[in-house]
Each structure stands twice: as structure tokens, then as C-alpha cells.
Amino acid sequence: MMNSLRTFMLLAALTALFMGVGFLLGGGAGMAIAFVFAAGTNLFAYWNSDKMVLRMYRAQEVDADHASGAVRRYAEIVTGLAENARLPQPKIYVIENDQPNAFATGRNPDNAAVAATTGLLRILTEQEIAGVMAHELAHVKNRDTLTMTVTATIAGAITMLANFALFFGGNRNNGGIIGALAIMILAPMAAALVQMAISRGREYEADRGGAEICGHPEWLASALAKISNGAARIPNAVAERHPETGQLMIINPLSGRGRDNLFSTHPATQNRIDRLMEMSGGGAPEPLERVVMDPNGPDLFEGRRKGPWG
């Protein structure tokens, strides 16, 4: 309850920031226009933000009946995890991108989707993929997906509005070109800080929930170590063009460009790994041995259908 109230207050702060930028650009009329635009953006984001993000990353929907090899096993893993968590079957997507990463989206569990990059499917074992997708399904179960996609949409709109200040110079009574430059720089920074405050706590909660869904915290810990290393080496061009979507990912996709940790929407990866290993009662995670993604391979969930929530 407290976490939900905190999130509501932060979303209200984002909306207020949007209106404040409107006031600085156009006075009272600008604030009124920004309020209407913010309300419309919230409504539009509620219904369409998931589709926007999936389209932005050119995600392709897949299912186990019409896929083979690694993609088929990935789809089967998600289906097994959804059953374990007592969640409706989410839509499953693959993104053609070398950076290993994944995210979940959707306004509620009945309209949820999960997506993984081809880079992630290439470098992770089946157990590690299970840990990652369990994390994403925990976001779905906690109804984080709506919050994060709406937040990303509003933050993107704030950045766009702030950029207008450079061209229109803002309200002359509020600093003219100097005020416009201040808006352009400070408004996106403030939006990033609010995004950070919303996202970091939810990542820890999703790590814990994901560990419970798959039953093996060390699977997710090992995956996080590999994904973090991959994200640091392999840039994600789409995320670079749309940095407000970075909070949706399991690991910050902007790591490869050395973004300031102050504005990172994700906790430090090592802190997440340490918490997961405390849950498992072990030390530092040893990466699991690579396994062949055999479509006829063993069922990772055999005998585990009754999970902590079952």
C-alpha cells in the first residue's frame, strides 16, 4: 500500500513538472495547455504505451507452436513460469538486437507482454533465461508494467516539451532565452530523477518476486552478471534514441555509453546479485554451464508447478 502511494505521488510529481514546464513556456495559458496535454498523454499511455514500446523496438510476437530452437524454448519457459505464478499467458516477443536485455509491458496481467532480445537468447542458459523471465513476470504480477510505461511516456513528453523551449524562447516574463535553456536542461534531469525514484525500488521487488517464481535466485543472479557485462559492451541504438524507455529493461541499456549512475533507473547490478545470493544462501554466483537450447529438452519446471504462490 505504501509503495503504491509513493508511486502515485511520484507520477503526480511528473505531471506537475509537465505543467510547470508549460507555465514557464507560455504562462497561465501554457500551463492550462500542458495540463490538458498531460491528461491526454496519461490516457493515451494507459491504452497504448505498451504497443508504442513494442513497435519502437520492432518486437516480433512468437509462440511455442510456431517457433523452433531457442525461440521455442524461450516461449515454453515463459508459459511454464506464467503457470507457476498463476498469471494469464502473456504475449511473447523477440527483439532483433545484439544487446542482451528484456522487459515486460502492458496495462494489467490480462494484457501483458514480455520481450527478450536475440542477444539475450544467445548468451544465457535456459536456467538463466528462466530467471530473467521470472523477473519480468514479477513486474507483471506487481502491476509495475503500467506504471513504468506511463512514466516513460510522460518523461519523453517532458523532454520533448523542454526542447521546444530552445526554439520558442519561453515566456519573456520567465527569463527568455536564459529561462528556455534552463528548462531544456533542468526539466529532463528532474524527470529522470523521478523515473529513478519509481524504478529502483521496483527492480529489487521484481528480483525477489522472480526468484520466488522460478525457485532459484542464483539463476537470476547469474543472468544479471552476464547481461550487465553485455550491456556495457554492446550499445542499444533504439534505447539511445529513446532513453526514457531504459527503465523498462532488466538492465540499464545505456550502460555502454557510461551514463551517470546518479540518473540510472536501475540499482547497482552487484547489489542486486548480492541480495539474490543471500536468498539462495550462497556466495558470489558461478555462471551456469551453457546448455543447448533443444526444443525437445527437459522441462525445467517438472515437479515445480506448485511454486511459493501456488
Q: Which residues are catalytic?
A: 136
- 51 Cβ contact partners less than 8 Å away, ≥ 6 residues apart: none
| Closest listed residue to residue 57, CA positions, set 253, 260, 267, 264 | 253
Amino acid at residue number 147 = T
CA gap 57, 290 in Å, rounded: 27
Cell 530473467 found at: 132
Residue/partner pairs of 164-173 with CB below 8 Å, 24 or more apart: 164/25, 165/21, 165/24, 165/25, 168/25, 170/24, 170/25, 171/23, 171/24, 171/25, 171/26, 171/27, 171/30, 173/27
CA gap 221, 263 in Å, rounded: 23
